[in-house]
Structure 1
Amino acid sequence: MLNKKQLDDIESLQQRCEQEDFTLKLNWETLRSRNGVMKNDFFHYVGVKLVGFLGLYDFGNKVEMCGMVHPDFRRQGVFTDLMDEALRTALQRDYKLIILNTPAQSHSGQGFMKQLPCEFSFSEYQMKWSNMELDNYEDVVVRPSNRDDAETEIQLDVHCFKFSEKEARDYYQRVQYEDTLKTMMIEKDGRAVGKIRVDHSGGEAWIYGFAIFPEYQGKGLGRKVLKKIVAEQRQLGYDIFLEVEATNDYALRLYESCGFKTIQRQDYYQYKKLEG
């Protein structure tokens, strides 16, 4: 479990690194809810000053990594040491996939990826909602999730995000402990057919995990749901953001049609395990 000083140090280092005009994806909702059972966070201090950090984010059989180094301490082996320790940990746990994340605009991050045995996998776009008129969403039914929805949420991740059954069940259990995350179920004709999650952190609303069973897609339901959630969050006074993979062209067009514009891009690389 991370203590207050560690969280404050990570936040201060992130703010310094982001002065270079990019945004790091450190998954703050996860950092704040670490349970301390496994070591997932790696620190490099110089005296009392945190100059390097790397976090592991577990998703069942997959793990994602994202980190940073203070600009004044780069090219001194700090991130190499952090990465070596994190990779040893990940390899010992025998994850099926090890994914490394860096902002597309980070020259140092992109340069570091070229030194590793990894290959580009996909890009993820962060989008921000800009004011536009929203209508034609009043008849859609969206309600808070409850324990009876567990199997539906799990199957939505399997069918829509290509999770394995184990990954989906592990992920469902993990998000139950994220206090800032709220899951809503989407209903059609009295049946739960989709879900959407909203995370409130730092005075912002982030939309995650938007999924509708394939047989209910392409009928305008997703657009109505998105408009309804955006309208509710706007009324509450939040700036509204979301993330989407570039491989999902339909979702990208859907979000753009509802007033979202791209502000940042994150690139993901798959680590290639070395033999021997």
Structure 2
Amino acid sequence: MLTKEELFEIKTLQKICENEGGFQLKLNFDMLENRIGNKKEDFFHYEDGRLVGFLGCYGFGDKVEICGMVHPDCRRKGIFSKLLEMGLGESKKRYPMVLLNAPTDSQSAKQFLRNLPCEFSFAEYQMKWQVTELSVDPNVTLRPSFTNEDWEAEIQLEVLGFGLNENEAREFNQLIRENSSDQRLLIEFEGKTAGKMRVSESNGEAWIYGFTVFPKLQGKGIGRKALSRVVKMEHQKGLPIFLEVEAKNAHALRLYETCGFRSYHSQDYYQYLN
């Protein structure tokens, strides 16, 4: 588990790097704040007692995403190369697929990646909701996940919606259930479970994660109506609302846009080939 001091140091370095580069790093603080077990997933580099380099590894099923940063004044010293070497060494022991994450607008990241055995895999958009008139449908509702039956529905939705195998889905959801304060919500359509989503409220923001509907029920407008309902709920609390979507998922992108979400940042992912 990372200490409060380490989390503060990471956030401080992130702000410096983002202000200098004009981009946004994806450091998954919802995961950093809930690290458990003995896995080596975070790597630090200090100079004169100050954090100047950090790299985090974030496992999702059979793949791991890696993202890191180095203080602008400390680049070209091989710091990031050393951090990445350690991160890859640990990650490749557990995950068959390694994805390197770089902000689309980071030229220094792109230059670094040109020297690595990797290839572009996909882009991901960060989207923010712009105030839009939304209607709700009484046939589509949201409720907290409580029972064992609810838990099994969540697992099946992870498997069918995101391609995880059942063991991966159970492990990931167990971590969320035990170590996160996120709201785990089930989507109901005409009184039956149709999908799920997770809402994280922290640092004065609301983020929507893990949003999916059973494949057999897709195309009925259930996702849009559920999203409209949760957006209205969070907006009434006065929170700005965010989510992420892969650019290649055109259907999801259109869904979010029709509900008032607009892209403001993007991340590029490269598959490591060695």
Q: TM-score, normalised by structure 2?
A: 0.96
1:54 is matched by which residue type in structure 2?
Answer: L
Contact 1:57 1:63 in 2 (8 A): yes
- Separation in 2, partners of 1:180, 1:200: 8
Name 1:97's counterpart in structure 2: 97
Task: Look up the match of 2:33.
Answer: 32
Query: Partner of 2:232 in structure 1?
Result: 231
SS of the equivalent of 1:42 reads strand
Q: Is the 8 A contact 2:103 2:109 kept in 1?
A: yes
Aligned to 2:15: 15
**Mean CA deviation greater in 66-75 or 147-156:** 147-156
Q: For residues 125 and 209 of structure 2, what CA distance do their matches in structure 1 show?
A: 12
8 Å CA contact 2:140–2:190 kept in 1: the answer is no
Match of 1:185 in 2: 186
Paired residues of 2:145 and 2:186 also in contact (CA < 8 A) = yes
Deviation, 1:254, is 0.7
Per the alignment, in what secondary structure is the counterpart of residue 177 of structure 1? helix
Deviations 1:197-240 (A, max 9, x none): 11112110001111000111111111110110000000011000
Contact map agreement 2:54 2:83 (CA 8 A) in 1: yes
Deviates more, 1:231-240 or 1:155-164: 155-164
Give deviations 1:170-191, integer Å, cap 9, x for gaps: 2111211343321100112332
Q: Is the 8 A contact 1:137 1:227 kept in 2?
A: no
| 156-165 vs 209-218, which moves further | 156-165
Cα offset for 1:110? 1.6
Instruction: Name 1:113's counterpart in structure 2.
Output: 113
How many pairs are equivalent? 272
Q: Determine if contact 1:196/1:209 at 8 Å carries over to the other structure.
A: yes
Deviates more, 1:143-152 or 1:240-249: 143-152
AA aligned opposite 1:35: I
Q: Cα distance, 1:138 vs. partner?
A: 3.9
Letter of the structure 2 residue corresponding to residue 84 of structure 1: E
More deviation, 54-63/207-216 = 54-63
Label 1:180 to 1:106 Cα distance change in 2 as closer, same or farther (>3 A).
farther
**Contact between 1:2 and 1:36, CA under 8 Å: does it hold in 2?**
no
Aligned to 1:67: 68
Amino acid at match of 1:57: Y
Aligned to 2:77: 76
Q: Deviations over 1:46-86 (max 9, x none)?
A: 01111100011122322111111111111110100000111
What are the ranges of 5 or more consecutive residues in structure 2 without an aligned counterpart? none
Identity of aligned residues (%): 51
Distance change (3 Å), C-alpha of 1:100 and 1:177: farther
What does residue 164 of structure 1 align with?
165
**CA deviation after TM superposition for structure 1 residue 36, in Å:** 4.4
Q: Distance in 1 between matches of 2:129 and 2:47?
A: 40
1:121 deviates by: 0.8
CA–CA distance in structure 2, aligned partners of residues 229 and 258 of structure 1: 11
Q: Is the contact made by 1:17 and 1:69 (CA closer than 8 Å) also made in structure 2?
A: yes
Measure, in 2, the Cα distance between the counterparts of 1:244 and 1:92: 28
Cα 1:99–1:146, aligned 2, differ >3 Å: closer, same or farther? Answer: same
Whether the 8 Å CA contact 2:141–2:229 is kept in 1: the answer is no
The aligned residue for residue 212 of structure 2 is: 211
Residue 57 of structure 1 is matched in structure 2 by 58
SS in 2 for 1:180: coil
State the alpha-carbon separation in 1 of the partners of residues 176 and 63 from structure 2.
16
